[in-house]
């Protein structure tokens, strides 16, 4: 039978379609009144007529199938001509409605503000999510007026309309999840009459679609359940700063002087209660994973952390490879007000190193984050204090975190904000084994005080099933994760576009799509040539929709004159949508299993429609079920036909190429004369290893196998030259004081820890510097004074103005000059700038940033300078 039958006091009945069972073919519904003759309808509503004021009736509705009729569902109502919703305080609660009849002739004026003075009726709509609300009276039979309020108070007027559709009214407003919106329906002047009310809600929430849709050549489709992004209660994670991170950590006992903690503030809005069950933070570290952390929530004390409200010790962090922590905690209720969240890594320095909490860039949210190091190991704040005191002169004074849980309002509605990426936890036993929990200080915050969700207000969004589509048309609803498209109508060798959407209790996701060829697919072999001279989609090719749906076309030229003819022949492929859609043009399967050195070439044109341009990207995949891999993208305009040539990697017998057109409101994308060919084979030498670095003890011998391999397509001929260097450096000729002793055992626990995780002591001494480590060819003769910034080597011309730049493998890149610097004989580097002189009293400070080389300053020194070095003092 149908479900949810309801009849208003005016005799307007609504119901829902059957929930489950063998649907067979549902034809419609029979509507009964007091067991009389049924009226057949196909809608989900019906207006009873001929009713008598004050009389009670029995309404019944059945489902009518192609072979039977269901049992009825019933509802008893009393007909009242005087509307119950004649005042704002008695507003009728409604959801989305279509053609809901109303009659203001039997209503009275509310005297509610000055916008509507006629008889009026009231309705109230509660927003299930953030979104937009449409209210329309366009099918009414009199001159209407319409207004919306936030409450039964004339000063809360939100929107109004008189004659948007003829003499009738309609309007759209943005709405906020959980808020009530009072809809007032009346007439212009003293007009009244009958009409139809439409209320439509559009959520700004994006419904998560299914994942991993795949359809084989037999038309059998499979997919996975949606795994969408998290929806937090509160988040400040989207604006990661440039100042780096701060250490927040409890160390082992012998390093306890470095224990430190950070905290940042957040606000629970007035009228809300939050129950937090997960705290996520962005972080980073080195040496090992941060598996456990302490999570604390403090009350606010005049803009700084105050009394500790909740503490959860050794919470399992569910950490990722980047050092981000995802801490699931017991339900923690917080009423309106300001709080401070703290997450402190519990991790030994030996062997795991340090963990840092990532900061957020301006603008500042609330107060600066606070930090403390109670035992003073870092030499700074030992009590809670603002970040700008510990780190003055910086700009990033917020921390990166997000909160998840449930929000309850004073009106009794609740909304769940879950991290859908972590519905289950990898270590539940550890999470529940909290070492210590501090009872909330305020007895006003109790779980029993939380509001319970009422009515249909619940945005946990239950996943009901999936809608299956073919070529954009609805095929069937299913609760399975598979579907067989082979119903006997698919044509062997034809391409098809499959689609599947996720159906929720309150909406439907956009469909995900997959292009497949039914039956025995067309398989191309080399060479492949396609000029689109058939004037239509070539055999075996297909359109794969990425954003909405728009097909490639086949025309003479691009948008008439951009350019005005194909590159060759009578047709070219063409894409122009002007609505921002994106579509891949996909080749048939190509067998490249026996090929090597395969080249793709094509011609494209994408004229500018200032300032807009369309984009073309080229993808490949090397299996039917594989994922697309970006091969090249073209973002700048090309006013005329331009050739592109690309090498194809990872060749297989199931190879596909896709040309993805993204409409950017330009003149359109032209594609022509696609060619896939195998170039002539050539030899290619591969040597492993490419270099050998070994330190030999006296009389020592090390055997290093060297493999020489031909990875090309023809025979390789090669020569090997072995060069024996001169005798090794003879250290026996040095004095004992000149030989630097080697420290073989490095004890990290003997070293100081810097706040940013660096070792402050000097590194152990080594005599490795006396061994030849590398030797590179100097591109230009006469260089001296080698120096590096860790990214490049630099060597100045011995008697000239040029400075040579090499990469870290010794490859010469460029020689450049700096205006104002005639010559330098040696270089030093301070971590930011280079310094040099040329046997005179001018000391140059220089910036070697590639492309921005410049003289920063010149200092006059008391003696001639040639050799130069730098230390921190």
Domain ranges of the chain: 3-78, 88-203, 208-225+456-521, 234-449, 532-678, 787-865
User: Which pLDDT value is given to residue 649?
Assistant: 94
Question: Which pLDDT band holds residue 423 (cuts at 50, 70, 90)?
Answer: very low
244-247-248-250 Cα dihedral, nearest 10 degrees: 160
Task: Please report which helix (H) or strand (E) contains residue 389, including its range.
Answer: helix 387-390
Q: Same fold for the domain at 532-678 and the one at 787-865?
A: no
Other beta carbons less than 10 A from residue 323's beta carbon: 21
Work out the end-to-end distance of the chain between its first and last CA atoms, rounded to an integer number of angstroms. Answer: 87
Q: What is the mean pLDDT of residues 646-668?
A: 95
- Residue range 365-411, pLDDT digits in tens: 999 999 999 999 999 999 999 999 999 989 999 999 999 988 887 65
Q: How far is CA 145 from the centre of its chain?
A: 43
- SS3 state of residue 129: coil
The DSSP letter of residue 138 is T
Are the C-beta atoms of residues 256 and 367 closer than 8 Å to each other? no
Q: What is the mean pLDDT of residues 250-278?
A: 94
532-678 carries CATH number 3.40.50.620 = no
Max avg pLDDT among 39-53, 235-249, 563-577: 563-577
Using the predicted structure, report yes or no on whether residue 9 has a pLDDT greater than 70: yes
Question: Which pLDDT band holds residue 618 (cuts at 50, 70, 90)?
Answer: very high
787-865 carries CATH number 2.40.10 = yes
Pairing of strands 337-346, 249-250: parallel
Q: What is the mean pLDDT of residues 629-657?
A: 95
User: Which pLDDT value is given to residue 625?
Assistant: 83
- Residue range 131-167, pLDDT digits in tens: 899 999 999 999 999 999 999 988 899 999 999 999 9
Q: How far is CA 443 from the centre of its chain?
A: 40
Using the predicted structure, report yes or no on whether residue 434 has a pLDDT greater than 90: no
Question: Which pLDDT band holds residue 771 (cuts at 50, 70, 90)?
Answer: low
Closest CA to 848 of 837, 832, 867, 836: 832
User: Which pLDDT value is given to residue 630?
Assistant: 96
What's the topology of domain 88-203?
A: Jelly Rolls (2.60.120)
| Residue given tokens 């279509």 in the structure block | 98
Task: Tell which CATH architecture fits domain 3-78.
Answer: Sandwich (2.60)
Using the predicted structure, report yes or no on whether residue 335 has a pLDDT greater than 60: yes
Closest CA to 279 of 316, 309, 305: 316
Using the predicted structure, report yes or no on whether residue 751 has a pLDDT greater than 50: no
Lowest average pLDDT, out of 241-245, 581-585, 646-650, goes to 241-245
Q: What is the mean pLDDT of residues 344-367?
A: 93
Between 572 and 11, where is the model more confident? 572
User: Which pLDDT value is given to residue 738?
Assistant: 43
Question: What percentage of residues in the chain have a pLDDT greater than 70?
Answer: 86
- Residue range 803-830, pLDDT digits in tens: 999 998 888 999 999 999 988 989 999 9
Beta bridge partners of 470: 473, 498
Using the predicted structure, report yes or no on whether residue 763 has a pLDDT greater than 70: no
Beta bridge partners of 404: 278
CA angle, 254 then 292 then 353, to 5°: 50
The residues, any chain, with a CB within 8 Å of residue 609's CB and separated by 6 or more, are 665, 666, 667
Average pLDDT score over the chain: 85
User: Which pLDDT value is given to residue 407?
Assistant: 84
User: Which pLDDT value is given to residue 111?
Assistant: 80
Between 417 and 677, where is the model more confident? 677
User: Which pLDDT value is given to residue 549?
Assistant: 79
Q: What is the mean pLDDT of residues 433-443?
A: 27
The residues, any chain, with a CB within 8 Å of residue 710's CB and separated by 6 or more, are 683, 684, 685, 686, 716
Using the predicted structure, report yes or no on whether residue 440 has a pLDDT greater than 50: no
User: Which pLDDT value is given to residue 853?
Assistant: 94
Question: Which pLDDT band holds residue 224 (cuts at 50, 70, 90)?
Answer: confident
Lowest average pLDDT, out of 436-445, 476-485, 625-634, 688-697, goes to 436-445
Phi, psi for residue 348 in degrees, rounded to 5: -70, 140
Between 425 and 710, where is the model more confident? 710
The residues, any chain, with a CB within 8 Å of residue 645's CB and separated by 6 or more, are 599, 600, 601
Using the predicted structure, report yes or no on whether residue 489 has a pLDDT greater than 50: yes
Q: What is the mean pLDDT of residues 509-529?
A: 90
User: Which pLDDT value is given to residue 643?
Assistant: 96
Residue 262, both tokens: 């950070």
Residue 456, both tokens: 């249909």
Is residue 744 packed enough to be buried (19+ CB in 10 Å), middle (13-18) or exposed (0-12)?
exposed
Question: Which pLDDT band holds residue 20 (cuts at 50, 70, 90)?
Answer: low
Question: What percentage of residues in the chain have a pLDDT greater than 90?
Answer: 58
Using the predicted structure, report yes or no on whether residue 74 has a pLDDT greater than 50: yes
User: Which pLDDT value is given to residue 577?
Assistant: 83
Q: What is the mean pLDDT of residues 498-504?
A: 92
Pairing of strands 92-93, 121-126: parallel
Other beta carbons less than 10 A from residue 259's beta carbon: 20
Question: Which pLDDT band holds residue 419 (cuts at 50, 70, 90)?
Answer: low
- Residue range 92-132, pLDDT digits in tens: 999 889 999 999 998 888 887 778 999 999 999 999 878 89
Pairing of strands 523-524, 589-590: parallel
CA angle, 614 then 617 then 622, to 5°: 160
Using the predicted structure, report yes or no on whether residue 446 has a pLDDT greater than 50: no
Distance CA 328, CA 278 (A): 4
Using the predicted structure, report yes or no on whether residue 753 has a pLDDT greater than 70: no
Task: Tell which CATH architecture fits domain 208-225+456-521.
Answer: Sandwich (2.60)
- Residue range 566-582, pLDDT digits in tens: 999 999 999 998 788 99
User: Which pLDDT value is given to residue 76?
Assistant: 95
- SS3 state of residue 126: strand
């Amino acid at each position: 039978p149908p479900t949810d039958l309801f009849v208003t006091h005016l005799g307007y009945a609504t119901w829902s379609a059957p929930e489950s069972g063998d649907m067979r073919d549902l034809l419609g519904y029979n509507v009964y009144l007091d067991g009389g003759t049924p009226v057949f309808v196909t809608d989900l509503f019906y207006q009873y007529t001929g009713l008598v004021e004050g009389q009670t009736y029995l309404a019944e509705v059945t489902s009518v199938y192609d072979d039977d009729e269901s049992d009825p569902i019933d509802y008893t109502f009393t007909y009242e001509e005087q509307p119950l919703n004649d005042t704002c305080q008695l507003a009728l609660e409604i959801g989305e409605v279509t053609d809901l009849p109303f009659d203001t002739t039997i209503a009275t004026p509310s005297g509610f503000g000055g916008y509507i003075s006629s008889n009026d009726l009231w309705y109230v709509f509660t927003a299930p999510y953030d979104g937009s609300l449409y209210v329309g009276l366009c099918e009414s039979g009199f001159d209407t007026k319409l207004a919306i309020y936030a409450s039964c108070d004339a000063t809360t007027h939100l929107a109004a309309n008189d004659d948007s559709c003829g003499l009738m009214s309609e309007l759209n407003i943005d709405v906020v999840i959980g808020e009530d919106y009072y809809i007032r329906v009346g007439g212009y002047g003293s007009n009244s009459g009958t009409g139809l009310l439409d209320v439509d809600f559009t959520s700004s929430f994006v419904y998560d679609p299914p994942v991993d849709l795949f359809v084989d050549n037999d038309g059998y489709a499979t997919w996975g359940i949606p795994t969408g992004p998290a929806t937090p209660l509160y988040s400040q994670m989207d604006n990661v700063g440039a100042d780096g991170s701060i250490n927040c950590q409890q160390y082992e006992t012998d390093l306890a002087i470095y224990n430190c903690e950070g905290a940042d503030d957040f606000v629970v809005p007035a009228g809300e209660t939050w129950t937090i069950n997960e705290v996520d933070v962005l972080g980073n570290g080195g040496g090992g994973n941060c598996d456990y952390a302490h999570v604390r929530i403090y009350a606010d004390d005049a803009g700084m952390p105050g009394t500790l409200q909740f503490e959860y010790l050794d919470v399992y962090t569910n950490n990722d490879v980047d050092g981000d922590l995802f801490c699931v905690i017991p339900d923690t209720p917080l009423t309106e007000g300001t709080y401070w969240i703290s997450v402190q890594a519990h991790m030994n320095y030996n062997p795991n190193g340090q963990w840092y909490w990532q900061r957020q860039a301006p603008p500042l949210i609330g107060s600066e984050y606070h930090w403390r190091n109670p035992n003073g190991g870092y030499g700074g704040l030992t009590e809670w204090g603002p970040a700008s005191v510990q780190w003055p002169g910086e700009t990033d004074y917020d921390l990166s975190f997000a909160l998840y849980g449930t929000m309850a309002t004073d009106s009794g509605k609740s909304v769940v904000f879950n991290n859908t990426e972590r519905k289950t936890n990898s270590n539940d036993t550890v999470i529940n084994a909290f070492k210590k929990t501090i009872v909330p200080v305020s007895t006003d915050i109790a779980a029993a005080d939380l509001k319970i969700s009422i009515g249909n207000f619940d945005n946990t969004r239950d996943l009901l099933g999936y809608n299956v589509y073919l070529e954009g048309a609805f095929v069937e609803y299913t609760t399975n994760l598979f579907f067989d498209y082979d119903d006997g109508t698919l044509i062997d060798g034809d391409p098809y576009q499959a689609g599947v959407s996720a159906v929720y209790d309150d909406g439907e996701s956009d469909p995900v799509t997959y292009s497949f060829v039914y039956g025995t697919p067309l398989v191309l072999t080399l060479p492949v040539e396609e000029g689109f001279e058939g004037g239509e989609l070539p055999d075996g090719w297909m359109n794969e929709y990425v954003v909405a749906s728009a097909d490639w076309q086949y025309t003479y030229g691009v948008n008439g004159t951009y350019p005005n003819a194909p590159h060759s022949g009578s047709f070219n492929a063409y894409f122009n949508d002007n609505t921002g859609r994106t579509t891949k043009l996909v080749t048939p399967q190509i067998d490249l299993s026996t090929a090597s050195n395969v080249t793709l070439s094509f011609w494209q044109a994408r004229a500018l429609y200032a300032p807009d341009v369309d984009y073309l990207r080229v993808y490949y995949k090397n299996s039917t079920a594989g994922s697309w891999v970006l091969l090249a993208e073209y973002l700048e305009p090309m006013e005329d036909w331009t050739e592109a040539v690309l090498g194809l990697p990872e060749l297989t017998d199931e190879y596909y190429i896709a040309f993805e057109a993204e409409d950017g409101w330009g003149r359109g994308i032209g594609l022509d004369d696609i060619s896939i060919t195998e170039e002539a084979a050539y030899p290619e030498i591969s040597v492993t290893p490419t270099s050998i670095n070994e330190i030999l003890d006296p009389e020592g011998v090390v055997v290093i196998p060297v493999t020489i391999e031909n990875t090309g397509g023809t025979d390789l001929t090669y020569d090997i030259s072995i060069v024996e260097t001169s005798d090794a450096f003879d250290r026996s000729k040095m004095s004992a004081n000149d030989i630097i002793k080697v420290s073989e055992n490095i004890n990290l626990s003997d070293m100081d820890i810097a706040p940013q995780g660096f070792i402050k002591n000097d590194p152990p001494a080594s005599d490795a510097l006396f061994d030849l480590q590398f030797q590179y060819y100097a591109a230009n003769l006469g260089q001296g004074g080698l120096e590096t910034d860790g990214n490049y080597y630099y060597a100045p011309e011995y008697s000239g103005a040029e400075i040579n730049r090499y990469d870290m493998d010794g490859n010469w890149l460029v020689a450049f000059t700096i205006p104002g610097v005639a010559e330098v004989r040696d270089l030093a580097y301070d971590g930011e700038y280079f310094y040099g002189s040329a046997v005179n009293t001018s000391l140059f400070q220089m910036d070697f940033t590639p492309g921005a080389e410049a003289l920063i300053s010149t200092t006059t020194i008391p003696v001639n300078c040639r050799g130069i070095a730098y230390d921190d003092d």
